[in-house]
Amino acid sequence: MNTAFYIAKRYLFAKKSTNAINIISAISVLGVFVGSTALIIILSVFNGFEEMVLKMFNTITPQILIAPAQGKSFDPNTTYFLSLKNNKSVASFTEVLSENALIRYNDKQQPALIKGVSNDFLKNKSLDTIMVDGSFVIENKSGANAVIGSALQAYLGVNVADPFEQLQVYSPKKDIKAGSINPMDDFTVLNIAPAGVFEVQQEFDNIMIVPISFARKLFTEEKNVTAIEINVKDGVDAEKLKNEIAEKLGEQFIVKDRVQQNQALYNVLGSEKWMVYIILTFILIIAIFNIIGSLTMLVIDKLKDISILHSLGAGKKLIKKIFLLEGMMITLSGCIFGLLFGFLFCLFQQRTGYFKMGEENLLVSNAYPIAFKLNDFVLVFVTVSIFSFIASALASNLSVKKIDHLNKDL
């Protein structure tokens, strides 16, 4: 067995002549334990929130989005797009025609983005999970229906249960004739019944989803689309397919994955998590550096042992290593037990949902969400190890300071 490790282990469990050393060592372990536990719990909760938010976003965000690099629309009836539509890797190929328009309901009006989608959009079976009222139906026997965002519904006061009141949609005509007496002649006005209300996030909650046939009639667009949304089948690498599409289409089109479509969201989620990590790490560092006081008192307590070891031929390097390992063992034991307790706490919350955030929501559970990532456990352990090594190295230097004078005195 390694000599330095053996002696350090003996010092860790041996009774000290001064009880204060045991107390300070226990405080050091407790501080690292609490800091590690808090850090892994907070990171796991942030992972849970991240998964919850992204799950809602991914419900309405396609895995691959194709849009023109220049201009607003393009013709989807090309040889490549038709072959892509029949690709065995593609689960849904949705043609999208979207444009801003004015929506009127009763005596209220609000501009919003009208998103016309083809039938493949409904292949997404998780659409019902974002509904807060009505159902996700954009076409039935009565004709076209609209599914609107919750922000738009709240502003206009739309009642999806009212079968008599419809939404009026106004869009400027492309071929406006000069000298028209009636201003309404310059607009295409269509009525559509609201079928349901969905809620994801403010960015999406101000849009209205309609059949693409309704959008073509509203915007007087016969064949072009503004985007193509693709979702792949299970087991297919979406990133690989996205790169293949981008290579085939060249610079005339922009091909984005989910991260690129919601770059701001991913950046916010990532930056918030790192800020919390940095703040809690500073607290953890303070707890770790308590080890300097503990090791300093241990060195004073073991002055005689240090002198005897040196007299027996132990070099300064070995003596420093003993106290370095002692400090590492104190802090890492607190870290390991902290990670274990944090894992068990998070597992308990994940299974039971005991701790609540507040009032229950229709879309998500009111329990704090938990998601485990191995990288977080590794990150906390490495963080503690690095600062533990620095603190222990500083304190271990005291063990060999004036060692030659110490031998003469003893």
Using one digit for the tens of pLDDT, what is the confidence trace for 224-244? 999 999 999 988 888 999 999
Give the highest mean pLDDT range of 167-176, 262-271, 286-295, 392-401: 167-176
Please check the confidence at residue 210 and state whether its pLDDT lies above 50.
Answer: yes
Distances (CA, A) of 90 to 64, 179, 182, 230: 10, 50, 48, 7
pLDDT recorded at residue 306 = 59
CA atoms within 13 A on the CB side of 323: 31
Q: Which two tokens stand for residue 144?
A: 């076209």
Q: Using CA atoms, how far apart are residues 43 and 277, in angstroms rounded to an integer?
A: 7
Number of H helices, E strands in the chain: 13, 11
Q: How many CA atoms lie within 13 A of 242 on its CB side?
A: 21
Angle between helices 263-288 and 290-301 (to 10 degrees): 20
DSSP secondary structure string for all residues of 99-143: EEEEEEETTEEEEEEEEEE-GGGGG-GGGGGGEEEE---SEETTE
- pLDDT above 60 (res 359): no
Please compute the mean of the pLDDT values over residues 60-71 and round it to a whole number. 90
Query: Strands 108-117, 207-211: parallel, antiparallel or unpaired by DSSP?
Result: parallel
Mean pLDDT of the chain: 81
Query: How many alpha carbons lie under 13 Å from residue 267 in its C-beta half-sphere?
Result: 5
Say what the pLDDT of residue 124 is: 85
Question: Can you tell me the distance from the alpha carbon of 384 to that of 337, in angstroms, rounded to the nearest whole number?
Answer: 12
Highest mean pLDDT: which range of 168-177, 203-212, 263-272, 327-336: 203-212
Cα Rg for the chain, rounded, in angstroms? 33
Q: Please choose, from the candidates 409, 339, 410, 327, the residue with its C-alpha nearest in 3D space to the C-alpha of residue 380.
A: 339
Q: Which residues pair with 109 in a beta bridge?
A: 104
Q: Are 354 and 367 in contact (CB under 8 A)?
A: yes
Give the residue ranges of DSSP H helices in 353-402. Answer: 374-396
